[in-house]
Amino acid sequence: MSKMINIWDIPTRLFHWSLVALFLFLIISGDSDDLMEWHFYGGYLLSGLIVFRLIWGGAGNPLRSFQFIQPQSG
């Protein structure tokens, strides 16, 4: 029986799924005048998530860093 190995750490996974949920919220809230204020807040939060990921991707563990992603030769 093989041992399961997690490639991405928990903060990276949380970032990914938060980004998905927030992106869907922004699509839905962008069409409604009543939700426009929340749409702007969501945009600020999305920007914060991206800044977090850039910082997290440049720090520490090689598995969570951008160095782990290698371009594939075609």
d(CA 62, CA 2): 23
Q: Are 23 and 46 in contact (CB under 8 A)?
A: yes
Render pLDDT for 52-61 as a digit per residue (tens, 0 to 9): 888 887 776 6
Q: Comparing 53 with 2, which gets the higher pLDDT?
A: 53
What predicted TM-score, i.e. pTM, was given to this entire model? Answer: 0.70
Which runs of consecutive H residues, i.e. helices, occur in 5-72?
10-29, 36-58
